[in-house]
Structures are given as structure tokens and as C-alpha cells.
């Protein structure tokens, strides 16, 4: 595996020739339409799932709050993740779907832009913060909830082309 690592700092996009962190220069790239989809899940007891579905929680509307938090988080990614570019986001959706088989919720975020770099980190940030907010809003009901399987589902656009997670 070590043979696949770059041989010098010039081969690493986020490091300069002295090995210092830098933000990648994307100014020569043409803006293109890019979209990323990420997912996560929150596992909980059936009783907690039922309480959230019924709107019977001490902090109010768990799902609406988590959805808004995810959208807001996508818009703040460059302030949270070092070296991420601030991007003009044209679309952010966060879907939170009950999954009785889990039991819990499946969370999916779709983020779209027309820019010089992709929105994978924005989609991943959206699902992460939506899951954290769902936990926060429901922790009075159950502290043992688990946030799981945060992952990129797909991305389109850009130099590296399209990607679809095989799992």
C-alpha cells in the first residue's frame, strides 16, 4: 500500500512544496454542474421511533429541526472543514425517512452547485449534522441511539467523473 502514496509533496494537492497545508487552486477550472448524494442512519429503539413519528418528544419537531440543521450545515461546510472551498449551493435537500426494520431513520442529502469543485463534503456534512441534531432532539427519550454508516452514495461532474458507491 505504501507504494501508492505520492513520492514527494508536489504530488499532494493539499500540501505545498514544503509540506505546508494549502487550499487547492481551482481558479483555472471551468465551473460545471456538480451533484453529490450522501447518507447516514440513526439506530434507536422501536419505542423512540414511535414517539418521534407520533410527535411525542420533549423538544418538539425532531425531524423538521434535523432537516433544517442539515441544510444549514451544508451551507457552512467551508467554515467547518479545513481547506474546503466556499461554494454557491443551488440545491440542498435533506430527506429523513423512518425505517422500522433498523429501527430508526435513514437520512439522505442531495447537494448541487455549478462551480469549479465538487460538493461531496457538503452532502456528507449535511447528513452528519442532521443525524447529530436528530440525536440531540431525541436524547431525552433514549441516549443509546447510534449514528451509523455516514457515506457518499454518488457524485456527478468534475474532472474525476461520476461515482456510484457500490455498497
The DSSP string of 46-88 is HHHHHHHHHT--TTS-HHHHHHHHHHHHHHTHHHHSTTPPP--
Q: Is 136 a catalytic residue?
A: yes
3, 61, 136, 162: the catalytic one is 136
- CA nearest 81: which of 164, 14, 158, 28? 14
**Residues known to be catalytic:** 136
Amino acid at each position: 500500500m505504501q507504494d501508492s502514496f505520492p513520492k514527494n509533496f508536489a504530488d499532494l494537492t493539499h500540501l505545498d512544496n514544503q509540506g505546508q497545508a494549502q487550499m487547492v487552486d481551482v481558479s483555472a477550472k471551468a465551473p460545471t454542474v456538480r451533484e453529490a448524494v450522501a447518507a447516514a442512519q440513526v439506530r434507536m429503539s422501536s419505542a423512540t421511533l414511535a414517539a418521534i413519528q407520533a410527535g411525542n418528544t420533549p423538544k418538539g419537531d425532531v425531524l423538521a429541526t434535523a432537516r433544517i440543521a442539515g441544510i444549514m450545515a451544508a451551507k457552512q461546510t467551508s467554515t467547518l472543514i479545513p481547506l474546503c472551498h466556499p461554494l454557491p449551493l443551488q440545491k440542498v435537500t435533506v430527506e429523513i425517512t423512518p425505517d422500522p426494520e433498523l429501527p430508526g431513520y435513514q437520512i439522505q442529502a442531495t447537494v448541487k452547485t455549478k462551480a469549479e469543485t465538487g460538493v461531496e463534503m457538503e452532502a456528507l456534512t449535511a447528513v452528519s449534522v442532521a443525524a447529530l441534531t436528530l440525536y440531540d432532539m431525541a436524547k431525552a427519550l433514549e441516549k443509546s441511539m447510534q449514528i451509523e454508516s455516514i457515506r457518499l452514495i454518488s457524485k456527478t461532474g468534475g474532472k474525476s467523473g461520476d461515482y456510484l458507491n457500490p455498497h
